[in-house]
């Protein structure tokens, strides 16, 4: 009986120690992610858009009552700034909040000033609470139009203008910035439309920055949505990385 009790005690102590080690490891990882984000924000201090507190984000979104949609890394809510300007806030899921993806999005989009790329108004980061605030796009994402079961009310001329806008946005990302920007996730869901149906490329969580002289990308850096990734990426050809996704969107 005594021997059985000792075995149970050792098992209990072993499990307890294992839980403590796992919790400590998760805390260290969380602190490391926080430090990484804060170091990045401090290094880019003069270039950053407005940083909001989580309380301000919650107030803007009216308690997150008006949900616009759900994506792979979080939910998007409609809200309003004090000025009355409408905004859309992407609130990253706690379980999927990734410091590097957050940095990727802020680092790339704060460099971009183009009519066909969505504008980052501000952001919030407080531990696992990460949010990105964008201009609100009245007509939502392109997928809601092209995959709609209702009769498409857009003219061929307007569809051409949308496609042209996406192409111009991609061209700007490749050649119009100080650094070459690869989006890696060009798809209808990530193309937004404003009140005039002007296209806006969005969602830069997978984006990577490269020198304008680079024409090769490492295979390990390649990510994206299956079905929209260019096969050329697997042969390390950089320039073609947006060509296949663009043709799929056009189809």
Q: Burial letters for 37-64: b for 16+ Cβ neighbours within 10 Å, e otherwise?
A: beebbeeeeeebeeebeeebbbebbeee
Active site residue ranges: 185
DSSP designation for 226: T
DSSP conformational letter for 231: G
The Cα–Cα gap between 148 and 145 comes to: 5
């Amino acid at each position: 009986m005594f021997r059985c009790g000792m075995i149970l005690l050792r098992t209990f102590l072993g499990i307890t120690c294992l839980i403590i080690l796992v919790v400590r490891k998760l805390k260290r990882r969380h602190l490391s992610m926080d430090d990484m984000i804060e170091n990045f924000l401090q290094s880019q201090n003069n270039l950053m858009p407005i940083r909001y507190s989580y309380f301000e984000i919650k107030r803007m979104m009216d308690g997150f009552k008006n949900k616009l949609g759900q994506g792979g890394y979080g939910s998007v809510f409609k809200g309003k700034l004090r000025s009355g300007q409408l905004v859309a806030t992407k609130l990253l899921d706690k379980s999927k909040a990734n410091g590097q993806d957050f940095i990727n999005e802020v680092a790339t989009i704060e460099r971009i000033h183009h009519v066909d790329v969505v504008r980052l108004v501000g952001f919030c980061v407080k531990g696992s609470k990460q949010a990105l605030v964008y201009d609100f796009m009245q007509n939502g994402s392109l997928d809601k139009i092209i995959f709609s079961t209702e009769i498409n009310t857009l003219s061929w001329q307007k569809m051409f203008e949308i496609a042209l806008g996406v192409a111009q946005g991609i061209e700007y990302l490749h050649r119009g910035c100080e650094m070459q920007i690869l989006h890696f996730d060009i798809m209808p869901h990530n193309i937004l439309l404003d009140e005039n149906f002007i296209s806006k490329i969005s969602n830069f969580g997978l984006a990577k920055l490269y020198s304008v002289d680079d024409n090769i990308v490492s295979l390990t850096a390649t990510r994206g949505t299956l079905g929209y990734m260019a096969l050329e990426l697997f042969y390390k050809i950089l320039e073609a990385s947006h060509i296949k996704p663009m043709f799929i969107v056009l189809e």
